[in-house]
Amino acid sequence: MVKNPFFNLFGGMTQWLYQRFSAVMLYVFTVYLFFYWVRVDTVDFNLWISFFDSISHRLIITFLFLVTFFHGWIGVQHVVEDYIKNPILNQMVYLILLLSMIIQIIFLCLFLLGI
Amino acid sequence: MANRPKNLNLFTIRFPFPAMVSILHRVSGVVLFVLMPLLTISLYWSLKSESLFLGILEFFDYTIFKIIRTLMIWGIIHHLIAGTRHILLDLHFGMDLIVARLTSKIVLIVSFVISGLIGVFLW
Protein backbone atom coordinates (compact mmCIF):
# COMPACT_ATOMS: atom_id res chain seq x y z
CA MET A 1 0.00 0.00 0.00
CA VAL A 2 1.31 3.42 -0.92
CA LYS A 3 0.74 6.05 1.73
CA ASN A 4 -0.23 9.53 0.73
CA PRO A 5 2.82 11.70 1.45
CA PHE A 6 0.92 14.99 1.48
CA PHE A 7 -1.70 15.07 4.09
CA ASN A 8 -2.95 11.89 5.44
CA LEU A 9 -5.85 13.42 7.27
CA PHE A 10 -6.56 11.72 10.61
CA GLY A 11 -7.14 8.04 11.25
CA GLY A 12 -9.72 5.90 9.54
CA MET A 13 -12.46 6.32 12.13
CA THR A 14 -12.17 10.10 12.22
CA GLN A 15 -12.18 10.22 8.43
CA TRP A 16 -15.28 8.07 8.37
CA LEU A 17 -17.08 10.43 10.75
CA TYR A 18 -15.90 13.68 9.14
CA GLN A 19 -16.83 12.36 5.72
CA ARG A 20 -20.42 11.93 6.90
CA PHE A 21 -20.61 15.28 8.69
CA SER A 22 -19.28 17.13 5.65
CA ALA A 23 -21.67 15.14 3.46
CA VAL A 24 -24.67 16.32 5.45
CA MET A 25 -23.42 19.92 5.35
CA LEU A 26 -22.95 19.78 1.58
CA TYR A 27 -26.37 18.19 1.23
CA VAL A 28 -28.09 21.05 3.04
CA PHE A 29 -26.17 23.71 1.10
CA THR A 30 -26.75 22.08 -2.27
CA VAL A 31 -30.48 21.70 -1.72
CA TYR A 32 -30.72 25.30 -0.46
CA LEU A 33 -28.83 26.69 -3.45
CA PHE A 34 -30.83 24.52 -5.86
CA PHE A 35 -34.16 25.79 -4.55
CA TYR A 36 -32.83 29.35 -4.44
CA TRP A 37 -31.82 29.35 -8.12
CA VAL A 38 -34.48 27.07 -9.57
CA ARG A 39 -37.13 29.78 -9.03
CA VAL A 40 -35.20 32.22 -11.20
CA ASP A 41 -36.30 32.38 -14.83
CA THR A 42 -33.26 33.85 -16.51
CA VAL A 43 -29.99 34.63 -14.85
CA ASP A 44 -28.53 37.87 -16.13
CA PHE A 45 -25.34 39.51 -15.03
CA ASN A 46 -26.99 42.00 -12.65
CA LEU A 47 -28.89 39.29 -10.80
CA TRP A 48 -25.77 37.13 -10.66
CA ILE A 49 -23.60 39.93 -9.29
CA SER A 50 -26.22 41.08 -6.78
CA PHE A 51 -26.39 37.57 -5.33
CA PHE A 52 -22.65 37.64 -4.70
CA ASP A 53 -22.65 41.23 -3.56
CA SER A 54 -23.56 40.26 -0.02
CA ILE A 55 -20.58 39.12 2.00
CA SER A 56 -22.70 36.46 3.71
CA HIS A 57 -23.45 34.77 0.38
CA ARG A 58 -19.77 34.94 -0.56
CA LEU A 59 -18.85 33.44 2.81
CA ILE A 60 -21.40 30.64 2.43
CA ILE A 61 -20.17 29.79 -1.07
CA THR A 62 -16.51 29.88 -0.02
CA PHE A 63 -17.29 27.66 2.94
CA LEU A 64 -19.23 25.31 0.65
CA PHE A 65 -16.24 25.01 -1.67
CA LEU A 66 -13.86 24.42 1.24
CA VAL A 67 -16.09 21.68 2.68
CA THR A 68 -16.24 20.18 -0.82
CA PHE A 69 -12.44 20.10 -1.00
CA PHE A 70 -12.26 18.51 2.45
CA HIS A 71 -14.85 15.86 1.57
CA GLY A 72 -13.39 15.32 -1.90
CA TRP A 73 -9.82 15.02 -0.67
CA ILE A 74 -10.71 12.28 1.82
CA GLY A 75 -12.75 10.47 -0.82
CA VAL A 76 -10.27 10.75 -3.65
CA GLN A 77 -7.42 9.59 -1.39
CA HIS A 78 -9.20 6.30 -0.85
CA VAL A 79 -9.91 5.82 -4.55
CA VAL A 80 -6.32 6.61 -5.56
CA GLU A 81 -5.01 4.33 -2.82
CA ASP A 82 -7.20 1.49 -4.09
CA TYR A 83 -6.60 1.74 -7.81
CA ILE A 84 -3.20 3.32 -8.47
CA LYS A 85 -0.60 0.88 -7.26
CA ASN A 86 2.47 2.29 -8.99
CA PRO A 87 4.16 4.41 -6.29
CA ILE A 88 5.46 7.12 -8.63
CA LEU A 89 2.20 7.48 -10.53
CA ASN A 90 0.33 7.42 -7.22
CA GLN A 91 2.36 10.32 -5.77
CA MET A 92 2.09 12.25 -9.03
CA VAL A 93 -1.69 11.99 -8.97
CA TYR A 94 -1.77 13.22 -5.37
CA LEU A 95 0.51 16.11 -6.27
CA ILE A 96 -1.62 17.15 -9.27
CA LEU A 97 -4.85 16.99 -7.25
CA LEU A 98 -3.26 18.92 -4.39
CA LEU A 99 -1.96 21.62 -6.74
CA SER A 100 -5.38 21.88 -8.34
CA MET A 101 -6.91 22.40 -4.90
CA ILE A 102 -4.32 25.03 -3.92
CA ILE A 103 -4.91 27.00 -7.12
CA GLN A 104 -8.66 26.83 -6.58
CA ILE A 105 -8.30 27.98 -2.98
CA ILE A 106 -6.32 31.02 -4.18
CA PHE A 107 -9.14 31.83 -6.62
CA LEU A 108 -11.64 31.38 -3.79
CA CYS A 109 -9.73 33.84 -1.57
CA LEU A 110 -9.81 36.40 -4.38
CA PHE A 111 -13.51 35.70 -4.84
CA LEU A 112 -14.19 36.13 -1.12
CA LEU A 113 -12.30 39.42 -0.98
CA GLY A 114 -14.03 40.59 -4.15
CA ILE A 115 -10.76 41.28 -5.93
CA MET B 1 -3.41 -9.73 6.98
CA ALA B 2 -0.91 -7.84 4.84
CA ASN B 3 -0.56 -10.60 2.28
CA ARG B 4 -4.23 -11.40 2.00
CA PRO B 5 -5.17 -11.72 -1.68
CA LYS B 6 -7.10 -8.74 -2.97
CA ASN B 7 -9.07 -8.38 -6.15
CA LEU B 8 -9.90 -4.86 -7.15
CA ASN B 9 -9.70 -5.45 -10.90
CA LEU B 10 -12.87 -3.83 -12.18
CA PHE B 11 -12.93 -6.00 -15.33
CA THR B 12 -13.15 -9.33 -13.54
CA ILE B 13 -15.68 -8.43 -10.85
CA ARG B 14 -19.34 -9.18 -11.46
CA PHE B 15 -21.48 -6.26 -10.43
CA PRO B 16 -24.74 -6.73 -8.55
CA PHE B 17 -26.83 -3.55 -8.29
CA PRO B 18 -25.58 -2.46 -4.84
CA ALA B 19 -22.01 -2.78 -6.16
CA MET B 20 -22.91 -0.66 -9.17
CA VAL B 21 -24.31 2.06 -6.93
CA SER B 22 -21.17 1.93 -4.84
CA ILE B 23 -18.74 2.10 -7.76
CA LEU B 24 -20.74 4.85 -9.46
CA HIS B 25 -20.66 6.76 -6.15
CA ARG B 26 -16.87 6.64 -6.40
CA VAL B 27 -16.86 7.45 -10.10
CA SER B 28 -19.18 10.41 -9.67
CA GLY B 29 -17.12 11.65 -6.74
CA VAL B 30 -13.88 11.52 -8.72
CA VAL B 31 -15.53 13.14 -11.75
CA LEU B 32 -16.80 16.00 -9.61
CA PHE B 33 -13.48 16.45 -7.84
CA VAL B 34 -11.55 16.51 -11.11
CA LEU B 35 -14.01 18.93 -12.75
CA MET B 36 -14.17 21.29 -9.74
CA PRO B 37 -11.63 23.77 -11.23
CA LEU B 38 -14.11 24.42 -14.02
CA LEU B 39 -16.65 25.59 -11.43
CA THR B 40 -14.27 27.52 -9.18
CA ILE B 41 -12.53 29.39 -11.95
CA SER B 42 -15.67 30.17 -13.93
CA LEU B 43 -17.32 31.41 -10.72
CA TYR B 44 -14.40 33.76 -10.16
CA TRP B 45 -14.27 35.10 -13.72
CA SER B 46 -18.06 35.35 -14.14
CA LEU B 47 -18.14 38.12 -11.51
CA LYS B 48 -15.42 40.22 -13.12
CA SER B 49 -17.41 41.85 -15.91
CA GLU B 50 -20.54 41.40 -17.98
CA SER B 51 -18.62 40.43 -21.12
CA LEU B 52 -16.72 37.72 -19.22
CA PHE B 53 -20.00 36.52 -17.73
CA LEU B 54 -21.54 36.20 -21.20
CA GLY B 55 -18.33 34.65 -22.49
CA ILE B 56 -18.55 31.93 -19.85
CA LEU B 57 -22.20 31.25 -20.70
CA GLU B 58 -21.20 30.94 -24.35
CA PHE B 59 -18.32 28.65 -23.41
CA PHE B 60 -20.68 26.30 -21.59
CA ASP B 61 -22.87 26.18 -24.72
CA TYR B 62 -20.30 24.29 -26.82
CA THR B 63 -21.47 20.72 -27.31
CA ILE B 64 -18.46 19.27 -25.51
CA PHE B 65 -19.15 21.45 -22.47
CA LYS B 66 -22.84 20.63 -22.64
CA ILE B 67 -21.84 16.98 -22.30
CA ILE B 68 -19.46 17.78 -19.43
CA ARG B 69 -22.17 19.90 -17.80
CA THR B 70 -24.68 17.06 -18.02
CA LEU B 71 -22.10 14.63 -16.67
CA MET B 72 -21.55 16.91 -13.67
CA ILE B 73 -25.29 17.17 -13.05
CA TRP B 74 -25.52 13.39 -13.10
CA GLY B 75 -22.50 13.25 -10.78
CA ILE B 76 -24.03 15.59 -8.23
CA ILE B 77 -27.42 13.88 -8.27
CA HIS B 78 -26.10 10.34 -8.16
CA HIS B 79 -23.62 11.26 -5.44
CA LEU B 80 -26.35 12.90 -3.36
CA ILE B 81 -28.87 10.07 -3.71
CA ALA B 82 -26.34 7.24 -3.32
CA GLY B 83 -24.86 9.15 -0.37
CA THR B 84 -28.27 9.37 1.29
CA ARG B 85 -28.64 5.61 0.90
CA HIS B 86 -25.16 5.11 2.31
CA ILE B 87 -25.89 7.22 5.39
CA LEU B 88 -29.20 5.42 5.91
CA LEU B 89 -27.34 2.10 5.74
CA ASP B 90 -24.86 3.44 8.31
CA LEU B 91 -27.86 4.19 10.53
CA HIS B 92 -29.01 0.59 9.98
CA PHE B 93 -31.96 1.44 7.75
CA GLY B 94 -32.52 -0.88 4.81
CA MET B 95 -29.92 -3.44 5.83
CA ASP B 96 -31.87 -6.50 4.63
CA LEU B 97 -30.45 -7.92 1.43
CA ILE B 98 -33.76 -7.66 -0.41
CA VAL B 99 -34.34 -4.07 0.69
CA ALA B 100 -30.74 -3.11 -0.05
CA ARG B 101 -31.03 -4.52 -3.57
CA LEU B 102 -34.31 -2.73 -4.13
CA THR B 103 -32.99 0.62 -2.88
CA SER B 104 -29.88 0.26 -5.03
CA LYS B 105 -32.06 -0.17 -8.12
CA ILE B 106 -34.15 2.83 -7.06
CA VAL B 107 -31.01 4.95 -6.61
CA LEU B 108 -29.69 4.03 -10.06
CA ILE B 109 -32.98 4.64 -11.83
CA VAL B 110 -33.97 7.81 -9.97
CA SER B 111 -30.59 9.46 -10.44
CA PHE B 112 -30.54 8.64 -14.15
CA VAL B 113 -34.10 9.86 -14.65
CA ILE B 114 -33.67 13.11 -12.69
CA SER B 115 -30.36 13.98 -14.29
CA GLY B 116 -31.74 13.04 -17.70
CA LEU B 117 -34.68 15.39 -17.19
CA ILE B 118 -32.49 18.26 -15.97
CA GLY B 119 -30.01 17.57 -18.76
CA VAL B 120 -32.69 17.71 -21.45
CA PHE B 121 -34.29 20.78 -19.87
CA LEU B 122 -31.00 22.69 -19.83
CA TRP B 123 -29.62 21.45 -23.20
Here the ipTM equals 0.87
CATH architecture of A12-113: Up-down Bundle (1.20)
Q: Give residue-wise pLDDT tens across range A57-75.
A: 899 999 999 999 999 999 9
**Closest CA–CA distance from residue B102 to any residue of chain A (Å):** 23
| Interface test mutation site (partner A, options B7, B42, B47, B121, max chain A beta carbons within 10 A) | B47
If you average pLDDT over every residue of chain A, what do you get?
87
- Is there a contact between B111 and B78 (Cβ–Cβ < 8 Å)? yes
List the CATH code of the domain at B17-122.
1.20.1300.10
Pick the closest to residue B115 from B89, B92, B84, B81 (CA basis): B81
Report B:6-65 residues touching A (Cβ under 8 A): 8, 26, 29-30, 32-33, 36-37, 40-41, 43-44, 46-47, 50, 53-54
Q: Please tell me the total number of residues recorded for chain B in this structure.
A: 123
Angle at B14 between CA B10 and CA B20, to 5 degrees: 75
CA distance B54 to A49: 13
CA distance B70 to B56: 16
CA distance A11 to A19: 12
**Closest CA–CA distance from residue B101 to any residue of chain A (Å):** 22
pTM value surpassing 0.90 = no
Amino acid in position B20: M
**What angle do helix axes A87-113 and B17-46 make, rounded to 10 degrees?**
40
Query: Using the beta-carbon criterion (under 8 Å), do A72 and B90 form an inter-chain contact?
Result: no
Amino acid in position B116: G
